[in-house]
Structure 1
Amino acid sequence: MKYLKRLSIVILSAFMAISLIGCQPQTKNNEEVQKQFDEFIQTQFVNTMESDYTTAHTFMVNPKDFGVDMSQVDVNLGIRITDENLKKSKEDQASVLKEFKTFNRDDLTDEQKDTYDIFKFQAELDEKLNDDKFDYYQQIFESMTGIHYQLPTMLADWQLRNEQDVKDLISVVNDIQPYMDSALDYTKKQEEKGLLMADLNEVIAYCDKVIKKGDQSAVLEAMKKSIDNLSLEKGTEYKKQLSQAFKDSFIPAYEDIRDTMKSFKSGTNNTEGYAKFKNGKEYYELLLQKNIGSNKSVSDIQSMMTKAYNSHLKNLMAVATKDPNIINKSEPKTNYKNYTEMLDDIQKNLFNDFPEVKNRSYHIEDINKEIASSSGVAAYFNIPPLDGTDKKQLRVNPNSADVSTVSTYHTVAHEGFPGHMYQYAYMYENISSPYRKALANSSAYSEGYAVYAQYYAFKYLTDIDQNYLELTKENELATYCIIILADIGIHYEGWSFEQFKDFLNTKGLTLEDDEQFKSQYYQLQANPSAFQPYYVGYEEINALKENAENKLGSKFKDKDFHTALLKSGTAPFNVVERNIDKYIEENK
């Protein structure tokens, strides 16, 4: 899935600029409390949207229908990352959490209890992460998900629906350098405090690619094309204004990032992990919990992934024993000639195993060529607006492997059907709360589900040796168990490069030379907990499924399990597990 970090609150709390409704009187009946709770949650949605233009534009076509007044929204890239705004964020967060705690969970409906638990998990974890002792611990320029990395994709995919959107886009592009300068000011203070932890060479190299393209950038061309598609009378003039904004703000912003990163080379930059900082281990554990969607400790996750690794290795050996020659066989090819054929074929069987959704229309488009060549991303799904009627958009890399490869198939299954594209279609049709659909942020559930879905879709490849597919699945999962354990080793145990390399070697994950080991080490070091949502999330879902199969026996049905799994939306795993437990009890 296309991971879009909300640029305006990359540091600030998700509760920034939220106004409060009055405290709850103590003598309320359940119905009144339920109404007040709905109003509270709606207030969080509305004020979050009104505090951030990019978020509002992404999630709403008609803001008025959601009670959002766009005249209250500043059209810019986001709130500046300053000490004053950070302080205000913490104050607002504390006030919102205090208000939230006036509600008695037992007074709520079952659906509201899910919303309550989702909100509680996110709010309490964000409160801990925003403790003063963690000031300047968050890294803005991560090499895989930093704001410099996400911005070109966001702009290339920017949806223009009318003339006002074009004017607003020009304002946003003009705001890039001022916004980025505030981010760099934060990062400079971070470096002065000895709390910078960045892959400087990787960030510099990425910025150099952007700068080299200049006004010939494919990102700029994509935005101009979007203007052309509206056939506006003043289209030519708007494109000139956009080009000027790109030249005056976008390119200088990347020059500023590059130059700042170069200046850090002679300063203080932690090239190991969070464990090297005073409160780093504690911060990493909280970051891990945010990314795994649960309050499990680091040791819990180490035990889980070690057990999972051993299980996948055992399954791998079982497949190899069944067919000793399978390891030496060349990768089989599917018969698919294009992505549409692949997704349409999956849909033929989809609703035998998953609950039906009405809106399955989609559009496949190539990833912007500049982003495709620089990012290595195979595909991503653009999260649609809550009230949009356009076809869902799946982006694919025109430079990636042959469409007929198994790896291409499971990437498309991850992003399309039965993965993210199906997942969001189901959620939008079956969950009513705008807050739940747009702001419930459990990447572990959504990415874990998509990993589960990509491997589940292997069953539809009836022309491919299922032993080979099982081998592929178990090998990949075992590998990522190792990667997650290594991530913990670097950021919690304080592993050096040599310790990291020794660990991979003992697990049989050998690379060609030291440069490849270093590349993997620095990717993990500069992007803490980046892979956890995918593979810890998968293991959580797989464990829930195995538990349901064991308890229900012959009464277990994949479709029923998937319905219970999808019911939660993007929720932490305590909510997901409760819905699965309820399904088990109802089907015993």
Structure 2
Amino acid sequence: MEIKLVFLVFGIIAFHIHHADGDASMNLKVLVKDYFEWRMSEKPEQSTYKSFSKYNDILDSMKESGFEITKNRTEVFLTGLRGITRDELSQQEKISYDILENMLTTFLDGYKWRYYNTINPMNLLDGPQYNPSHFHKSFPFDTVGDFENYVARLQRFPNQLDEIITLFNLSISKQTTYHAVSLTLVFNQIDKICPVPTNYSIKCGYFTPFVKSIDHIHISSEKREDLISRAKIAIDSIVSKYQEVKTFLQSEYLPNTRKHYGVLNLENGREYYQACLKWYLSLDLTPEEVHQLGLREVERIQSEMMKIVERNNFNGTVSEYFLFLKNDSSMFFNTSEAMLKSYSDMIHNQIDPLLPKLFKKLPNLPIVVKAMTSDGPGGMYSSGSADGTHPGIFWANVLRPQEFPKITMLPLALHEASPGHHLQFSYNKFIDSPDFRSKMESSYLYKVPVAFPRYTASTEGWALYAESLGHELDLYKTDPELLGRYSSEMFRACRLVVDTGIHYYNWTKEEAIEYFLNYTLQARADLEVEIDRYVTWPGQACSYKIGELKIKELREKATKELGAKFDIRDFHTFIMEGGIVPLNLLERNVNEWIKKRLAEETKPGKPEPGPTCSAPNQLPFHHLFIVSFLSCLSILSLF
């Protein structure tokens, strides 16, 4: 084994030496391939989800020592990237260059905060207990080898839980723990993993593949029993270790949780919150600026909502008018099936036929509506395949049809389906981009800002902007429907005020809830959980509205500067075909697009320039050698 690994190391290094004399394009291609391989080796659980099966037998490491290793390798990749001459790349390669540079620098900028949330790896929204089905949901179970890999992961799981306890202890010593509300659901989540005290290895979700999948492969009865036996032993150990985690959190961690809801009172808490905001927004906005933006948006939207109230001759507040509407039984569906059917009709018969008015070169990938299996948000989206064989899915919460007003459904359909998440991710599938973009890493949010970004403000900002496009498509036909649209936007505007209020202005949870109650139509019980989310993920809730405002700002600028030459279909399609990018890069791309369109106006008929054919660019040998060597070390470290 050792001899094979040595040859593997030198083989990979030789491959990169061979390409060291290539041009900038080739050097970038090699670098981003190595980067993606490295990230998948550090995130093996996520690599399985992205159909990168090389590391299916191992789990993510939660060791503190891994922080510095990741930092050092990130610095090497950044050095290698900056050794490539950007000007010699094609336009799409330049975008890849810029995104990778942003990812690397974002992680390094956040590294100083590694002893804050990063060492608190379980909460009501994060951790292996949050959704145990993810452990096997994307795992392939097609061969005996797949089951061997799965059992190996089960056997390594208790050790990962031990590493989690160690990190929590470190958080206690550093005095950077969560507030207690961040653990409100964790104990119940642990208890639900295996609720039956006897034969829990069979009843436990981790055993599901041995019930549903193992009989579909060619395997001897002896091998089958051997795999099942080892799996049961491993699962028993997992359940036992989970109880250790629960006991530790109750007896050791909870008594040491921070007393304030926000992070303001942590050491350098203001600066830490600023770093979290920058990670999510990819803009240099201060908490004060975000707070003021929120206040202005709340005032603007409230004014629009009051116009509807007054137009309908109602003598009361927006909240009172909404309650008046809710007393009308026709505002609700009686069954989940009727609600699902209405969502499907909205998407396929009302929205989709109008999309050519706002977009060009539509991907036209299929989407279906399915019912969420458990209660939660109003809806979620999961992406399908590029060939259309697996459709995108809008998971709709239809469990309580009598509590979900019809007027709130259309903006949610626009947000989750088209022109929101489904359309955005459909365009993204056809962009000629390397794996690190098309299979972008989804960092766990408890690690922010010590994580590689996934550009939440870009994706959620677009989806919120998509809700506003319902106006231009004339989809909001009635005042109640318009009120439903504004209520969705108001909720995101209030988040700007409340998130900064908690973490920068030291608001209490009750102050945050009261603010929401004054301006939104949310029930107190729902707001309790909502605020716990903001307490746990500082800055995340600001992504939606800031992203939407940036897109609207860029659209307004393009409209003004291009005048009669502005075409909304060109603008939207340009954004979609640019892929998922940080907001600062989106702004630069749109500015360059505007300049290019203006230049085309003054020089009609001039062909669009293609990629330049410059003299070969040689990436410094020592840069490629270091990147290659460290890539190999990451492979060696797995053995």
TM norm structure 2: 0.74
Contact 1:366 1:398 (C-alpha < 8 Å) held by counterparts: yes
Q: 1:476 to 1:83 in 2, by over 3 A?
A: same
In 1: Cα distance, 2:234 partner to 2:377 partner? 24
- The 1:279/1:387 distance shift into structure 2, 3 A limit, reads farther
Instruction: Give the AA of the match of 1:274.
Output: V
Alignment map for 1:425-440 (pairs within 5 Å):
425-439=426-440
Counterpart check, 1:60 vs 2:56 = no
Distance of aligned partners of 1:161 and 1:424 in 2 relative to their CA distance in 1, 3 Å threshold: farther
Cα distance in 2 for partners of 1:527, 1:322 equals 40
Q: Residue 115 of structure 1: which of 90, 96, 100 is its match?
A: 96
In structure 2, the CA distance between the partners of 1:447 and 1:249, relative to structure 1 (3 Å rule), is farther
RMSD: 3.8
CA gap 1:22/1:268 in 2 versus in 1, 3 angstroms? farther
- For structure 1, list consecutive stretches of 5 or more residues without a partner in the other structure: 1-17, 64-69
What is the CA–CA distance in structure 2 between the aligned matches of 1:229 and 1:449, rounded to whole Å?
44
SS at match of 2:101: helix
Asked if residue 263 in structure 1 is aligned to residue 251 in structure 2, the reply is yes
Alpha-carbon distance in 2 for matches of 1:466, 1:216: 53
Instruction: After TM superposition, give the deviation of residue 566 of structure 1 in Å.
Output: 1.0
In the other structure, the counterpart of 1:380 is 380
Q: CA deviation at 1:190?
A: 0.7
Alpha-carbon separation, structure 1, partners of 2:398 and 2:114:
42
The more displaced of 295-304 and 246-255 is: 246-255
Which is further off, 494-503 or 477-486?
494-503
Distance in 2 (CA, whole Å) between partners of 1:142 and 1:422 is 33
Question: Aligned pair 1:158/2:138, yes or no?
Answer: yes
**Residues 1:244 and 2:227 are matched in the alignment:** no
Match of 1:308 among 288, 297, 301: 297
Question: Distance in 2 between the 1:554 and 1:322 partners?
Answer: 34
Quickly say closer, same or farther: Cα 1:103–1:455, change in 2 above 3 A.
same
Corresponding residue number in structure 1 for 2:36: 45
Q: Amino acid of the residue matched to residue 111 of structure 1? A: Q
1:10-64 CA-to-partner distances (Å, cap 9, x unmatched) read: xxxxxxxx99967999xx9xx8223212321222122222443323222236x7x
Match of 1:202 in 2: 185
CA contact (8 A) 2:276 2:539 kept: yes
Say which is worse superposed, 180-189 or 164-173, in terms of deviation: 164-173
How many residues matched? 548
- The equivalent of 1:347 in structure 2 is 352
Q: Once structures 1 and 2 are overlaid, which stretch shifts more, 270-279 or 201-210?
A: 201-210
Larger radius of gyration: 2
Call closer, same or farther: CA 1:100–1:191 in 2, change over 3 Å.
same
Structural mapping, 1:5-16, within 5 Å: none
Partners of 2:537 and 2:122 lie apart in 1 by: 6
Say whether the 8 Å CA contact 1:51–1:74 is kept in structure 2: no
C-alpha distance in 1 between matches for 2:496 and 2:564? 34
TM-score scaled by length of structure 1: 0.80
Q: Which residue of 2 aligns with 1:146?
A: 126
Out of 424, 444, 460, the position equivalent to 2:457 is 444
Of structures 1 and 2, the one with the larger relative CO (CA 8 A, separation 6+) is 2
| Contact in 1 for aligned 2:142/2:217 (Cα 8 Å) | no
Cα distance in 1 for partners of 2:410, 2:237 equals: 39
Could you tell which deviates more after superposition, 257-266 or 223-232? 223-232
Partner of 2:26: 35
Counterpart of 2:176 in 1: which secondary structure? coil
Q: Which amino acid aligns with 1:449?
A: W
Partner of residue 487 from structure 1, selected from 493, 499, 516: 499
Q: Distance in 1 between the 2:371 and 2:219 partners? A: 28
1:150 CA displacement: 4.2
Contact conserved, 2:386 with 2:426, CA < 8 A, in 1? Answer: no
Instruction: Give CA deviations for 1:354-377 in whole Å, capped at 9, x if unaligned.
Output: 33344613455554x4xx14xx14
Kept after mapping to 2: 8 A contact 1:386/1:437: no
Give yes or no for contact 1:568–1:575 (8 Å, CA) kept in 2.
no
Of 275, 278, 284, the match for 1:286: 275
Give the partner amino acid of 1:162. Answer: D
CA distance in 1: counterparts of 2:359 and 2:348, whole angstroms: 15
Q: For structure 2, list consecutive stretches of 5 or more residues without a partner in the other structure.
A: 1-11, 315-320, 442-453, 599-639
In 1, Cα distance between the equivalents of 2:305 and 2:359? 27
Q: What's the counterpart of residue 547 of structure 1?
A: 557
- Aligned partner letter, 2:72: E
CA distance in 2, matches of 1:278, 1:260: 25
Q: Once the 2 structures are TM-superposed, how far is the Cα of residue 571 of structure 1 from its aligned partner?
A: 0.6
What fraction of aligned residue pairs are identical, expressed as a percent? 17
Give distance in 2, aligned partners of 1:412 and 1:224. 37
Inter-CA distance 412–465: structure 2 relative to 1 (3 Å threshold): closer
